[in-house]
Chains A and B, each alone.
Chain A
Amino acid sequence: MPKPKLNVPRKPTKNPETTTRQSVKAGARKAPRNAALVATTVAKKTRRTRSTAESETLPPEIAAWFTRRGWKPRPHQLALLDAARERRSTLLIAPTGAGKTLAGFLPSLISIHNGQKKKIGAGLFTLYISPLKALAADVERNLTHPIEEMGLKVRTETRTGDTSLARRQRQRVKPPHILLTTPEQVALLLSHPDAPYLFADLDTIILDELHALAASKRGDLLALDLARLRKLAPDVMTIGLSATVARPSELRGYLVPQTDPEAETRLAEIVTVKGGAKPVIEILEAENEIPWTGHTARYAMREVLEAIGRHKLSLIFVNTRMQAEFAFQELWRLNDDNLPIALHHGSLEAAQRKKVEAAMAAGKLRAVVATSTLDLGIDWGDVDLVIHLGAPKGASRLLQRIGRSNHRLDEPSQAILVPGNRFEVLECRAAQQAAEAGDQDATLSRSGALDVLAQHVLGMACQAPFDPHALFDEVRSALPYAGLTRTQFDRTVEFVSTGGYALKSYERFAKLRPAENGKLRVAHPRIVQQYRLNIGTIVDAPHLKVRLVSSRGGKKNIARIGGRVLGEIEEYFAEQLTPGDTFVFAGQVLRFEGIRDTEVFVSRAAAEDPMVPSYDGGKFPLSTHLAGRVRAMLANPSVWSALPNPVANWLELQTERSVVPAPDEVLIETFPRGNRHFLVAYPFEGRLAHQTLGMLLTRRLDRIGANPVGFVANDYALAVWARGDISNLISEGRLSLAKLFDEDMLGDDLDAWLAESALMKRTFRLAAVIAGLIERRHPGKVKSGRQVTISTDLIYDVLRRHDPGHLLLEAAWADAATGLLDIKRLGTFLSRIKERIRHQTLDHVSPLAVPVLLEIGVELVYGQDRDAILRDAADELIREATGDMRT
C-alpha cells in the first residue's frame, strides 16, 4: 500500500451533493488506544482536477447501458471510479437509494471488462463482504442483472454457510471474478493452505454496511482478515460502503493499514453523499390515552391499522420479538378488512421468512411487522411508510429504519413513531429532533477483542506456520488492534497454544509447536478441524426448534407425529415453561406441550388471550445521545406544551409534587409506599447500566443496614425498595447519597458482585466459545448428555479463584464494560453527577416514579438470589409434609 502522498482538500467538485476528501494524516500525534479519531486534514499539494468526461471514464458497453436506462452515472459513482484509478481506498457514505452498491462495484466491473491485469493466482478479482448472507444473495441478484444487460463477461458467485460443499471446494481452485460472501467465510478461506494462491490476484475488497460491522467482534475478525488479505495481495484496494455515521474517521481508519499506529492514524479517502429530502417523521397521537408503562403500543393499534390502510406497503418496526408477535396479533384482531399483514423476525423458520420476503417483493402485502432482521439494506419492495412501535432507542437506528422506505432520493421518506408510554413520548420527540438535525449516535470506539484475536491466531497457524514477529506487525496494522501490546499478543499466542495458564502444566499438549526459523505450526491436523468447526464470533444462546403437534391431551411423553417447524426459541425461555402454558409465537397462540431432544412441542391453543411471558430477545438500551435530549426536554417546561396533553399534565404534576431535575442533575426521590421504603433514581442511562447500578446500590444499602429487598430498572430510572426507612437514614445523616453514588462502587463492590453475576458468566461463555476454549454446540446435533459437557460457569468460577489474571477473564471483563453490564456508561454517569444529586424526600410516590414502579412484576426483578427459590421449594415440601397446604 503506498503511503498517502497528498493531503489536499480537493477543489470543490461540480456537484454540491458530493464531497470528497483526500487521504489524510491525523497529524503526527500519539494515538492513544481508543482515542476518538479526529480527522485533521493536512493539505499538501493539489491533485489533478477531474476533467475526464463520462464517456472517457466508462467503457462503451457500460456507458450505453446507462444511456439505455436514461440514467447518468452519479457524481459519487464517478468519484469512486476516480479514486479507484489512483488505487485509493475509499469510504462511501450515502443514504439508501443513492446507488451505493453499483458505485462500489463499478470500478471492478470496468477493470475486469478491460482485462488489464495479468493473472498470477486463481483469478479472484473482487471480494464483496457483507454482514448478512441474505444481503450477499440480494446483491448478487442486483448485480447479475446489470452485468447481463451490459453484456459483460464477469462471473459472480456467492459463498455462504448455505453454499454446497462441492461448490465451495471448487471456488477455492477456480473462483469467480467477483465473490460475494460474509466475514466468517473469508476467515475460513484464509485458514486454508491455498489462500496465497486464491487471493494473489485480489484487486478490490468491497465492505458493505460497514457501519453495522465495524464496531463489533465480527468487525474485529474482519479487520484481522483484511490485514491478512493485504499481506497476500499488497496492492489491494478497499471500498467501504456505509450509512451516515457520527464518526466516519473510525471507518476510514478501518479501511487502510495502520503502518505506524503510534505516530499517525491513517485514514482512507471519503466520499459523502448528502441525503436527499429530509424524512417526514410524525409522532402518533391516538384517541386512547397513552399508558404509563409498557412498550407494546396496544392503545394505538386502531390508528396504526388506519395508517396501513392509507399506504401501499408499510414496514412496522418493533424492538423485540415479543413485541413483534404481540403487534401482529393485535393488528389482526382489528383487521376487519383483511389487509394482508405479515410477520418477520429472526426466530421464524427460514422458509417462512423467505415466503414473506417474496410476497413483499411481489407487492402482495400491505404491511410487515419486523424486528431488526429487516434493518439492513435488503430491498424487498416498494415501502412507502415506516411505522415504529415503541421508541426507537437510538437516533441512528431510527434513520436506518426510516431509510427502508422510499428508495428514491428526491422524495421524503414517511415515518410514524408510536410511543409505548409517557416516557417514550419524550424519547420519540428526542429522536424526531435528532433526525431533523441529522444527528447520529456515536458508537464507542473499541479496541479489538482478545478472544477474537485468539481465534485468528489459530486460523493463521492452520494456514501455514507463522512467524510471531511478522504476525504481530500484521495484526497491529488493523485499526482495532493498532494499540495491541506485544505482551498482549504473546499472551494470546500462549493462550492458543496451551491455554495460557499461570500453572504451566500443558506444555506437552501444546497446540502450536516450533517449526523452522522460529515459526510456529499446528501440532496436529485435528486442531485444524476443530478450528473450522468453531469459527465465527456469533454465539447464539442455545436454541430449540418449535414444532407444531396436534393437541390430544392424554398422557404426556406420548410420541406425537411431528408437524411443521415454526421457528426457534431460546432454550432458557423454553425451560421455564410448564405444559399447558400458552404463549404467542409465529403469529399464533400456542400451548406448550413439552420438550423432546432439541425440539419444543407445541399445539394450537384455543385461548384468545395468551399469557405472554416476556421474552426479551433483542432489547436495545436507550442511546446516550437520545438520553441527553430527553433530559434537556424534561428540564425545559417551555417545550412541554408541544407534547400531548396527558404527558404535559404529567410533567406539570411532577413539578407540583416533586421537582424536575436540571439536565446535568440526577434526581433521587425517596418515599414510603405500602410497608416498604423506596429510592427512585433517574439517570436516563439505559436498562443495562441501570441494572448494574441497581445491583451495586442494593449491596451498599445492605451494608448500611437499610435492608433492601429488590429493585427494578427501565431505560430511564431505577427503583430500589427496602425494609429500612431510607428517607430517615438520610435525614439522620446515616446514609449519604453522595457516598452511595460514589464512583468507588465500581471497585470492590463491582468485583464482588461480578463473582456471582449471571450476566458476567454469560459474557464469559461468549468469550470462551469465540476464543476456542470450549467448543460450540452445533445446531441439529442432538444434545449430548449434560454430564459430559462442561459448563463454562464452572470454568469461570475456577479461573477466578486460581488464575484471576487470565486472558479470558480480561477479555470477558472488557466485553462486560461495554456490553451486558454497560459499566463504561455507568462510570461516565457517576462522574457526571458528582455533587449534582438532587434529593427529594416525599410522602407519596411521585408522578415521574409511576412508570418504573409499574414495571415491578412485569419486568424481571433483579437481585434475586437463586437459593431463595430453593428455600421456597423446601418450604413447600415442609408445608406438604405438615399437612398445611392452604397457603
Chain B
Amino acid sequence: MNMLKPERIGLDDFADQPVHVCGKAFVAHKSGALFWPAEQALIVSDLHLEKGSSYAAYGQMLPPYDTRETLQKLAALIDRYDPETVICLGDSLHDQGGAARMDAGDVESLRMLQEDRDWIWITGNHDPKIDRVLAGYVMPEIVVGGIALRHEPRPGARTHEIAGHFHPAARLVFHGTSLRRPCFVGNRLRLVMPAFGAFTGGLNILNAVFEPLFGDDGLDVWMLGHEGLYPVAPRLLRDD
C-alpha cells in the first residue's frame, strides 16, 4: 500500500541526516556522501570514474556517461554543502588509463568543482596513481581529527577510520518484500562508506569480508533510499 511520502507529512527534505562516527558529528547524505561540518569537508568514496569506457575497451559498450553522471551528483553536493575540502576515498578512477580516457568536457567540469577548495585524492587499489591532469593532492591516507581516512579499512587496528573499498549494500526483508540498497555501515571504531560512482554495484554486508571489521560488535546500518537514508535494524537484514 502506498505510504505517506515525506512531503505529505510536511518534511520537504529527507535527503540527509546527522550521524555519529567515532564520536564525531557528521551528516550522511542519501547519495552515499558524508559531510563533516566541523572540518567543512565532503567525503565520497569509490567514484570509479570511466568504468563505462573501461568495459568498452573490452567490447562491452556501456554508456559513456557514468563520469558525467557521477560528477553531476558530486556538483550538487558541493552546491549544497559548499565544503572547503573534498576528499575522495580511493578507487576514484576505475583503472589506471581512466584519466586519459576522460572526455575533455568532464575534465573541465571536474576542474570547476575543484576551484576555491582543496581536493584530496586518496589512492586505492584501482588507482594507485592519479594522473596529474586531475589536479588535487594525492595521498595514500590522511588523518583528520584523530580519524584516519583511507581506502581500504584495516581490520583489527584500534584506530578510528572512515574507509570505502567494499561497496557495502544491505538486503532488507520486511513486510514480505525484499529490497537491496547500498548502505553506510559502521560501529564505534569505523565507518565503511557506500560506493558513490554511477555504475558501482554493492557487496552484502553480511558477507564474510565484513566480519573482521565489525565482528559481533553490533552494527549501525543506514540504507540509501530515493528520498532519504534510513537506519535499519541488522536483524531485518539477510544475506544474498
Which residues of A approach B to under 8 Å, CB–CB? 495, 498-501, 503, 505-506, 509, 511, 524, 526-527, 530, 572, 575-576, 578, 595, 613, 698, 708-710, 756, 773-775, 783, 785-791, 794-795, 798-799, 801-803, 806, 861, 863-874, 876-877, 880
Contacts and interface: CB of A to CB of B under 8 A. Distances in A.
A539 B12 CA distance: 41
Contact of A867 (B103, B169, B227): B227
Contacts of B198: 794, 798
Given A775-B60, A801-B69, A595 B240 contact: yes
A572 B176 CA distance: 12
B47 to A, nearest CB: 14
B167 A790 contact: no
Interface string B191-225: 00001001111111000000000000000000101
Contact of B56 (A499, A575, A708, A867): A499
A787 B179 contact: no
Give chain B's interface residue range (CB within 8 Å of chain A): 35 or more
Contact of B63 (A499, A864, A872): A499
A578 B238 contact: yes
B233 A877 contact: yes
20 contacts: A499-B64, A506-B53, A526-B58, A572-B178, A710-B1, A773-B62, A774-B62, A786-B203, A787-B169, A787-B202, A794-B198, A870-B172, A870-B179, A872-B175, A873-B230, A873-B232, A873-B233, A874-B230, A874-B232, A876-B233
A530 B226 CA distance: 35
A783 B203 CA distance: 12
A511 B65 CA distance: 19
Interface in B40-73: 51, 53, 55-66, 68-69
Interface string B126-147: 0000000000000000000000
Given A576-B173, A877-B231, 4 more contacts: A756-B226, A798-B69, A798-B198, A865-B5
Given A499-B63, A501-B63, A788 B201 contact: yes
Contact of B175 (A775, A786, A869): A869
Interface in B64-113: 64-66, 68-69, 101, 103
A786 B2 contact: no
Given A773-B62, A774-B60, A873-B174, A785 B203 contact: yes
B218 to A, nearest CB: 13
Nearest to A768: B62
Given A503-B103, A866-B226, A867-B227, A795 B60 contact: no
Nearest to A613: B176
B178 A575 contact: yes
A712 to B, nearest CB: 10
Given A506-B56, A866-B226, A576 B199 contact: no
A873 B59 contact: no
Given A576-B177, A789-B201, A866-B179, A503 B64 contact: yes
B177 to A, nearest CB: 6
A864 B68 CA distance: 31
B181 interface: yes
A863 B59 contact: no
B157 interface: no
B38 interface: no
A595 B238 CA distance: 10
Nearest to A721: B1
B1 to A, nearest CB: 4
A501 B236 contact: no
B230 A708 contact: no
Contacts of A865: 2-3, 5, 226
Given A499-B62, A775-B60, A869-B175, A863 B2 contact: yes
Contacts of A775: 60
B63 A870 contact: no
B232 A576 contact: no
Identify the 10 closest CB pairs spanning chains A and B, nearest first.
Answer: A499-B61, A868-B3, A802-B65, A874-B230, A870-B230, A867-B225, A575-B178, A710-B1, A787-B167, A787-B201
B65 to A, nearest CB: 4
B2 A803 contact: no
A524 B56 CA distance: 13
Contacts of A799: 63, 65
Contacts of B61: 495, 498-501, 506, 509, 511, 773
A806 B55 CA distance: 19
Given A578-B238, A785-B203, A790 B174 contact: no
